[in-house]
Structure 1
C-alpha cells in the first residue's frame, strides 16, 4: 500500500490537500491536528516514535498520507514510498496564514516571522529530501491532488 509523507511550511496548503485526498479515499493523518507534535515558541517537535508506528502499520485497504514537518522528519523517510514537499511564495503563505479559518498559528506577528525564517532556513533541506515538489501558489488544488493521487500504486487495475 502506498504511503506518502506530505511536508511543507505552515501556509503551503497541507491541510487543504489532506482533505481533498481524504475525499478521494486516502487515509490521512495530520500530525498538527492529530496531536502528534509538540509546539514550542521556536520549533515544532514531531512525536517521531508515534508517527513511525503509524507508518509501520500494515495496511491493505487504501493509500496513506501523513502530513508532518519538523526536526528529525528524515527518520520517517525509510517508511514511506514518497516524500512530497508543498511550497509557495512567501506572499501567498503570509496571506493564507493571516486569513485561514480554524487555525490561529501564524496570525501572531512573532509566529509569522518564525514561519518566514523557517522557510528560508529549512525549506532548502526539505527540498533535498523530497521526491516531488509542488508549488501550491502556482498549481490549482486539483492539479496538486492529482499529482499526489497518481503516486498510489495500481495493481491489477485496482488502486492500492
Structure 2
C-alpha cells in the first residue's frame, strides 16, 4: 500500500473554541461517505481525537469514543458502515501494521481515521482526505486537502 498524496484541492477553517470544533465535526460528518481514508496531522493536543470524537458521535455512536493511543485502533459499528479510528503515535515499526492485519480494515463499508499516518508509511493506503490541525491563537486552524474525487466533492459541499 502506498501513502503518496496527490492534493486536488484545499480549504482552510478557523475554529475559535471547543464548540466550534464540535460544530465543524458535525458539518464534516454530514458529508462523509464510505469508503474513505482520512489522515489527521497535527501536534499533540491539537484536537485530532476531539474532531474524530465529534464525527463518530454525530454519526450515531452513543458510547465513549476513546483515544486509540495505546490500542492503535478503536472500531465502531454504525448503521451500515464500520469506522476505524487509528492512532499510530506509539507505533514502533510500520511493519507491525501487517501483523495486525491492516489490509482487513480498508473495505467498501469503512470510514478510516488515521492519526500520525507518517508512522505507517509504506503500509497504509493513500488518503482520500487529509486534515491538518494546528494551534492558532486560542483556537485551531484546520486545513482540508482533497486527495480523491470523493473528498473533492466533500469539500465542495462543506
TM range (shorter): 0.3 to 0.5
Normalised by the length of structure 2, the TM-score is: 0.41
Normalised by the length of structure 1, the TM-score is: 0.41
Structure with the bigger percentage of strand: 2
Structure with the bigger percentage of helix: 1
Structure possessing the higher radius of gyration over alpha carbons:
1
More RCO (CA 8 Å, sep 6+): 2
